[in-house]
């Protein structure tokens, strides 16, 4: 039963299940209430076990000459890196130094300034071809993407493939990436700090891929890359200009496939947006 109290992650904070002095669970779990405890975890969005023991990550670091033995863990607990202006500046410098997409991927792999990497299984950098004319940017990897290391491979990815297919494109002909390359625990939305620290990387990724058309999937990608506070239902369907150091790129915000799975009636809007992309592709050499 002890392992049920292992450290877990949800919503960017380390959490522990209700303790005997807490309000939800009045006694240690027994075989009778294990289901209740697991239900509580699920409701909190917890689906990652980090280690067998809870860790107080806010405790000041102890300087010890000999490292304390660590309990066997599912994943070694690491110190949370505070996201500061310095980290964002460091991210900008590192991203700007990358001259190719491969270099950028390597730089991001080595970058330790974003806490999302602590709970993710692997980094999700891109899929498809950077030589294509279309680049799509989503919000961040979900569970399937985290496992496979590729963007949009879960249910919303399958819908995206069908949407692309409907206008004669497939994922090998487009380039796909996300605002944040690590899965936010429990599929929550990335925090403004996480987005800010990852932003220089996706900006450089767009600059290096240099597509003719940028499709922003969902509110997070659209508001972040267009610096807009408007909701996606207002933003979608209108071509905008996205500026890189090289040139202006035509950018179209549209609805996120995961949203369309929840609101299938809105697929008609996304269909219009994808037709608009088709026309743009056909109308320009």
Residue 20 CB, shortest distance to ligand URA, in Å, is: 38
Please pick, from the candidates 12, 107, 145, 274, the single residue that binds ligand URA as defined by CB under 6 A. 145
Binding mask 219-258 for ligand URA (x = CB under 6 A): ---------------------------------------x
Binding segment (CB under 6 A) for ligand URA, from list 36-44, 53-61, 68-76, 148-156: 148-156
Please pick, from the candidates 151, 185, 190, 219, the single residue that binds ligand URA as defined by CB under 6 A. 151
Gap between the Cα atoms of 268 and 13, Å rounded: 37
User: Between residues 16 and 188, which has the closer beta carbon with respect to ligand URA?
Assistant: 188
140 binds ligand URA (CB under 6 A): yes
Q: Binding-site residue total for ligand URA (CB under 6 A)?
A: 12
Residue 14 CB, shortest distance to ligand URA, in Å, is: 24
The residue sitting closest to ligand URA, measured at its beta carbon, is 138
156 binds ligand URA (CB under 6 A): yes
* Chain residues in the site for ligand URA (CB under 6 A): 138-142, 145, 151-152, 156-157, 178, 258
């Amino acid at each position: 039963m002890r392992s049920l109290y292992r450290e877990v992650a949800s919503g960017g904070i380390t959490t522990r299940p209700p303790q005997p002095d807490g309000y939800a669970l009045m006694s240690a779990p027994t075989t009778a209430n294990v289901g209740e405890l697991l239900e509580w975890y699920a409701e909190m969005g917890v689906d990652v076990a980090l280690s067998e023991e809870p860790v107080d990550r806010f405790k000041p670091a102890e300087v010890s000459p000999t490292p304390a033995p660590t309990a066997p863990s599912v994943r070694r607990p690491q110190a949370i890196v505070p996201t500061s202006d310095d980290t964002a500046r460091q991210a900008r410098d590192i991203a700007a130094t990358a001259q190719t997409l491969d270099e950028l991927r390597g730089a991001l792999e080595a970058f330790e300034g974003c806490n999302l990497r602590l709970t993710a299984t692997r980094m999700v950098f891109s899929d498809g071809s950077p030589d294509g004319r279309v680049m799509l940017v989503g919000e961040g990897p979900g569970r399937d993407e985290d496992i496979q290391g590729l963007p949009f491979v879960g249910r919303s990815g399958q819908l995206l493939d069908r949407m692309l297919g409907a206008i004669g494109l497939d994922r090998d002909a487009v380039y796909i990436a996300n605002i944040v390359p690590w899965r936010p625990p429990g599929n929550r939305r990335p925090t403004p700090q996480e987005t800010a620290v990852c932003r220089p990387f996706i900006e450089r990724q767009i600059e290096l891929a240099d597509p003719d058309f940028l499709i922003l999937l969902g509110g997070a990608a659209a508001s972040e890359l267009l610096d807009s506070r408007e909701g996606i239902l207002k933003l979608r369907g209108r071509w905008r200009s996205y500026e890189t150091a090289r040139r202006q790129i035509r950018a179209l915000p549209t609805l996120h496939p995961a949203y369309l799975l929840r609101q299938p009636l809105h697929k008609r809007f996304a269909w219009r947006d994808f037709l608009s992309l088709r026309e743009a592709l056909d109308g320009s050499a």
